[in-house]
Amino acid sequence: MSTVWPEIPYTAWQETCSALHLYAEIVGKYRLARTPWVNHSWHATYYVNARGLTTSLIPDIVGVEITFDLLRHVVRGETTDGSRMEIPLGPMSVAEFDARFREMITRLGGTPDFHDCPNEVPDPVPFRDDNRKRPYDAAAVERFFRALVLIDRVFFRFRTSFLGKVSPVHLFWGAFDLAVTRFSGRPAPLHPGGAPGLPDDVTREAYSHQVSSAGFWPGGGGTDFPAFYSYTYPMPDGFAEAKVAPAQAYFDQKLKEFVLPYEAVQKSADPDAVLMAFLDSTYRAAADLGGWNRAALECPVGQPLRPRPVSQQE
């Protein structure tokens, strides 16, 4: 796996990306339907692993894990009793993938009953009715996976410097974004809801507490290019005008969040440092303007084999 950040222009693989997103929704909805609710919908997500994206173990039958293997281009189902099946990824319709996935879960002994329509996408079509043939650009998918691995590494490092409640680094299938979220520890005002394609109860539970959240989407989430984002809820006065790094970052008035084009990171001399500067500076703006107790919530970035020193006051 190369440490060189790949080019992943959205328009070059837009149709494949859209198809992969919808396939991820289908598998994600299966996990959602079988897993007890965890705060902020953390039970519904994917995680980057050595092959692509994994659900981790789902509590259906004896336990089943679904992996999007983006190197072999298959979706693999494995159970804790040793059963294993695969679906090849390639040109097909969403309806075809949906039918094959449900058959795989049935043959593994699971229960393939879940909501049949995508969320957080424009003009949603029920999976079983989406018969348009979709392309599959395997090389583009592999480049996307390589980018996710490198982004996940930086997000994880950023996560280590926070003592308060912080989410895993995980991918939400609704918006198809890799994200990490920090919490101030204080309740937030009731969210007004109204997020496209998302039930208000889900949105309000997700934003029940004050957050600073950062993430990455490959494109199509308000931009026609891959980008990093950072936002806070509730948004304090002055956040949109805050000075953040690097210079290519800007506040998008429509999205109500800071945006940094992926290309600005990918083409820099030190992509990890540029991305970390974006994560740090946007978080500091949210925390300072939002009145977070930074002294109690922050710590040095984690180092291998080095426990964090604990003072007598903690």
Spatial separation of the C-alpha atoms in residues 64 and 109, rounded to whole Å: 10
pLDDT at residue number 310:
79
pLDDT at residue number 313:
54
pLDDT at residue number 222:
82
Q: What is the pTM of this model?
A: 0.96
Do 202 and 252 meet the contact criterion of CB atoms below 8 Å apart?
Answer: no
pLDDT at residue number 3:
83
**Full 3-state SS string of the chain:** CCCCCCCCCHHHCHHHHHHHHHHHHHHHHHHHHHCCCCHHHHHHCEEECCCEEEEEEECCCCCEEEEEECCCCEEEEEECCCCEEEEECCCEEHHHHHHHHHHHHHHHCCCCCCCCCCCCCCCCCCHHHCCCEECCCHHHHHHHHHHHHHHHHHHHHHHCCECCCECCCEEECCCCEEEEEEEEEEECCCCCCCCCCCCHHHHHHHCCEEEEEEEEECCCCCCCCCEEEEEEECCCCCCCCCCCCCCCCEEECCCCEEEEEHHHHHCCCCHHHHHHHHHHHHHHHHHHHHCCCHHHHECCCCECCECCCCCCCC
Per residue in 227-282, pLDDT tens? 999 999 999 999 999 999 999 999 999 999 999 999 999 999 999 999 999 999 99
pLDDT confidence band for 283 (50 / 70 / 90): very high
pLDDT confidence band for 58 (50 / 70 / 90): very high
* Mean pLDDT computed over 8-34: 98
pLDDT confidence band for 314 (50 / 70 / 90): low
Per residue in 176-226, pLDDT tens? 999 999 999 999 999 999 988 999 999 999 999 999 999 999 998 789 999
- The answer to whether residue 2 scores a pLDDT higher than 70 is no
Per residue in 67-125, pLDDT tens? 999 999 999 999 999 999 999 999 999 999 999 999 999 999 999 999 999 999 989 99
Per-domain residue ranges of the chain = 10-136, 139-297
